[in-house]
Amino acid sequence: MTGSSPVTPAQYLDALIADSEDANLRFYLPTVLHFFREDLLRVIGIGDASASGWQNLEWHVDGRCSACDWLGHEKWANSKDKAKIAAQPTHYCYPAAKLTGHLSQIAGMTRGARKTLQIHAIPNTTSAASAPAAHPAFQQHSHLKKERSRIPLRAQALISSTTSVDISAVLASLAPAPQLHVAVTVNFDPSAGLLTGLSVFGRATAYVTGQTPRQFPTKCFVVDQKCLADRSTK
Ligand code: SF4
């Protein structure tokens, strides 16, 4: 808005409406409703069930905890917070996981896999370290089935602080001299269920001495509108 005359409330409102975008509520609502109708009630119910009910809440430390105030990773804490964590280490998930041998410490462990182990009487890393690959729990979850021989070894490594080499592992890598090299980047917003952009670039070569590889510059396709129709026409 320009000019010296004061902006009226109606103009502010019109500008706000003009700037607003369709939030595609049908993508967000199921998660929001699930949070208010189920997650919140469950957490409050468990937390209020007894004086220290919050200690009975389920938790799982992974990459999503990095911004949580209750992670308690000392290396990231200032001196004041370090003192708080040291005074009550089991009140913070990172030190509590180490102290209790929480299964989420095992590399690659998912929430579902951890719950499956706990249901089958493998509650911590000590139990996981001694579980044979033939343990029935490892047949109950796809991740556990795939990693059944590595999970006990990873748990043992956590306990002993010694690592070992998996000599049966097979590593795959790209060919050392491809004639066509293409990189495609896809940006997807999982919370909204919307594609937000694509880009592609490439390089081709015949490996002829003195002949420079042909470069294909990066081509970007940005979808900056929250409208499903834009996803197919860009
Ligand atoms: S640090 Fe603990 S409380 Fe925070 S998100 Fe992770 S598991 Fe949950």
What pLDDT does residue 178 have? Answer: 87
What pLDDT does residue 188 have? Answer: 85
What pLDDT does residue 144 have? Answer: 97
What is the C-alpha separation between 147 and 80, in angstroms, rounded?
40
Question: What strands lie across the sheet with 214-222, from one edge to the other?
Answer: 180-189, 194-204, 214-222
Residue nearest to atom 6 of ligand 1 (CA): 65
pLDDT in tens, 30-60: 889 999 999 999 999 999 999 999 999 999 9
pLDDT in tens, 60-100: 999 999 999 999 999 999 999 999 999 999 999 999 999 99
Residue nearest to atom 1 of ligand 1 (CA): 71
CA torsion, points 164, 170, 175, 176, in degrees to nearest 10? Answer: 30
What is the C-alpha separation between 136 and 140, in angstroms, rounded?
7
> Is 80 exceeded by the pLDDT of residue 232?
no
Spans of all domains in the chain: 74-160, 180-233
What pLDDT does residue 224 have? Answer: 76
Beta-bridge partner residues of 183: 201
Q: Please tell me the distance between residue 82's alpha carbon and the centre of ligand 1 in angstroms.
A: 17
Looking at the CA of residue 60, tell me the nearest atom of ligand 1: 7
Pocket of ligand 1 (CB under 6 A): 59-61, 65, 68, 70-71, 93
What is the C-alpha separation between 174 and 151, in angstroms, rounded?
27
Residue to probe by mutation, ligand 1, list 46, 59, 114, most atoms within 8 Å of CB? 59
